[in-house]
Copies of this chain bind each other. A is one copy, B any other.
């Protein structure tokens, strides 16, 4: 029997992190609505602290730890948004953060993590090297490992984004979230189940990294092998805590082409004048590829983050 975060758990999570996280705005675009013939409500986690939804889960976890648990700091391995999110969350409680990063991580991400005062430990860019390095750091320092997604406190934190979205919009037919490790998607599905049962939850995934689609179809976790996509936040595999929630509460997973992702990303930049990273554009790409299905529907779209290397854009 798997223990999902409960309704009360998510409500308490929201209370715990209020004041630490931004209640991000929900934007609409008449122009994009006209293009797709739907009513889209964009939940802007690109405006979240540290630039992505990841901060919700990271700060919830760090705030859940007591002084004693926190005294040796926290640790994780990540080359992406979770790294900066955990570094900032730790800083808020004056705790140390140890972040294992592949030595090939983008300079901009390394700078962000450093700017929050975390200690970076570089390793070779392989999963084995990352896990081994993290293990030795945890052993040496006694820091608490905070997983980027496969952790019920992290999932409960990510759930608060959809909770806010569902509270502030007319009844949504769908909410679409991108899926990588499944932290955001599972949290979104839980919030819908507890706070807006009539809303269907869809995961959107690049075809070049379709392990969640295949896992969902087969009913067992199929790990991501050699994924290839511009959506660098969606390369990871589902976890044994996120997958059961997705299996139970998500209605489908839609995969999309790379050029749809780039087209959707450019559309958001050009029409809405906001910066989102490729992973954020995957849900809109799924609407662009399935216009009939989504015509005239009210659809929530979670824009997961806005951390993108501005000197290396996909349309250059």
List residues of chain A with CB under 8 Å of any chain B CB.
Answer: 25, 46-47, 51, 266, 269-270, 272-276, 306, 310-311, 313, 315-316
Q: Once the chains bind, are A273 and B306 in contact (CB under 8 Å)?
A: yes
A310-B51 contact given A25-B25, A274-B274, A275-B274, CB 8 Å threshold: no
Q: Once the chains bind, are A273 and B273 in contact (CB under 8 Å)?
A: no
Nearest-neighbor residue (CB-CB) of A52 within chain B:
B273
Cα(A237)–Cα(B269), bound, Å: 31
Cα(A273)–Cα(B25), bound, Å: 13
B-chain residues with CB within 8 Å of residue A306 when the two chains form the complex: 273
Nearest-neighbor residue (CB-CB) of A271 within chain B:
B51
Copies of the chain in the assembly: 2
B-chain residues with CB within 8 Å of residue A51 when the two chains form the complex: 273
Interface centre among A51, A266, A274 (most CB of B within 10 A): A274
Cα(A315)–Cα(B312), bound, Å: 10
Cα(A25)–Cα(B46), bound, Å: 16
Cα(A264)–Cα(B74), bound, Å: 34
Nearest-neighbor residue (CB-CB) of A276 within chain B:
B273
Nearest-neighbor residue (CB-CB) of A270 within chain B:
B310
Cα(A269)–Cα(B308), bound, Å: 10
A273-B270 contact given A311-B315, A313-B310, CB 8 Å threshold: no
B-chain residues with CB within 8 Å of residue A25 when the two chains form the complex: 25
Nearest-neighbor residue (CB-CB) of A266 within chain B:
B310
Q: Once the chains bind, are B46 and A273 in contact (CB under 8 Å)?
A: yes
A-B contact list, 13 entries, CB within 8 Å: A47-B273, A51-B273, A269-B275, A269-B310, A270-B310, A273-B275, A274-B275, A275-B275, A310-B313, A311-B315, A311-B316, A313-B313, A316-B316
Nearest-neighbor residue (CB-CB) of A51 within chain B:
B273
B-chain residues with CB within 8 Å of residue A276 when the two chains form the complex: 273
Nearest-neighbor residue (CB-CB) of A275 within chain B:
B273
Nearest-neighbor residue (CB-CB) of A312 within chain B:
B316
B-chain residues with CB within 8 Å of residue A315 when the two chains form the complex: 310-311
A98 to chain B, nearest CB (A): 23
B-chain residues with CB within 8 Å of residue A46 when the two chains form the complex: 273
